[in-house]
Structure 1
Amino acid sequence: MTIVVGYVPTPEGEAALTQAIAEARRSSTTLLVINSSRGDALVDNRYAQEQEIQSIEDRLATQGIDHVIKQPVRGHDAAAEVLDAAEEHNAELIVIGLRRRTPVGKLIMGSVSQRILLEADCPVLAVKAG
């Protein structure tokens, strides 16, 4: 079994990663870190740079967490990438970070977190940044 975490280089992403590490350690399972980009912009601040990925790699290796880090760029939104990964790897849990959004912001922009919560076939743990 696998735990999937949707990671972005933000405080919410860090909170999700920290909780996912704790869950993976507790259940002695593989952690799959998903950090994706649609690839439709020259700069995507939610797509982790090489040094950020290396830092995560080092952190997981130091803690003895069996892990895989994927950074797909396939034109899909982040929710689709997390949901696809969870299905493909028969995930027992998805961990995501939440950020505060206004009701109008949710209406106009949609919500990656909301889509994952509604469409996931496994439990979803949503965490907030401290």
Structure 2
Amino acid sequence: MAIETILLAVGPGDADRLDRLAEETIEVAGPAGARVVLGHVFTREEYDSALDNLEFDRNADEVSADDVAARHSTVRELVAQLDAADVEYEIRGRVGDHGESIVGLARDVDADRIVVGGRRRSPAGKAVFGSVAQEVMLSAPCPVTFVRADTK
């Protein structure tokens, strides 16, 4: 099966693993000539906060989640790395539950692979706090690559 579209899902907790996420994505997308969809999912609270932090004029403009995602610092860092590697990409934003929205976006863009970051958690921690990466891995319509931050 050829890989044509990779969904690189990023969120608020991924700042410490952006380089690893970019490396893993570029390693597959570059040789395959795949398009990368940079997907940033916001909860409603995160979205409202981002609108304020990025100084969008809510009254003058119709602001989409795609617009907010494109201006988010994590996405801009990844864009710079994808540009440097000459990898084609587009940016998509979503507002909603992180796991469900990532899986929905993967379906919407017909992703052949999802790249998602996470951190190590005990089974009890996953049960109590949940795990976006685990939800994505269990519900995804395609294979998922899990990227953990360097543990130096």
Q: Fold-level match, TM-score > 0.5?
A: yes
Instruction: Give the aligned residue type for 1:118.
Output: L
CA contact (8 A) 1:6 1:82 kept: yes
From the two aligned structures, give the one with the greater helix fraction: 2
TM-score normalised by the chain length of structure 2: 0.71
Query: Are 1:15 and 2:35 counterparts?
Result: no
Change over 3 Å in CA distance of 1:101–1:21 after alignment to 2: same
TM-aligned CA distance change 1:5 to 1:51, over 3 Å = closer
- How far apart are 1:105 and its partner, in Å? 1.7
Contact 1:13–1:96 under 8 Å retained in 2: no
- The residue number in structure 2 matching 1:110 is 130
Structure 1 residues 90 and 107: CA distance shift in structure 2, 3 A: same
Q: CA deviation at 1:13?
A: 4.4
Where do 5+ consecutive residues of structure 1 fail to align? none
Q: Which runs of 5+ in 2 are unaligned?
A: 51-67
Equivalent in the alignment of 1:28? 33
CA 1:121 to 1:39, structure 2 compared with 1: closer, same or farther past 3 Å?
same
Tell me how far apart the structure 2 counterparts of residues 43 and 20 of structure 1 sit (CA, whole Å).
Answer: 28
Question: What is the total number of aligned residue pairs between the two structures?
Answer: 126
Using the TM superposition, give the Cα deviation of residue 43 of structure 1 relative to its aligned residue in structure 2, in angstroms.
Answer: 4.4
Per the alignment, residue 2 of structure 1 pairs with: 5
Deviations 1:56-108 (A, max 9, x none): 22222222110012222x2x111122111111111111111220113322111
Superposition TM-score, scaled by structure 1 size:
0.82
Paired AA for residue 80 in structure 2: D
Residues 52 and 126 from structure 1, CA distance in 2 versus in 1: closer, same or farther, beyond 3 angstroms?
Answer: closer
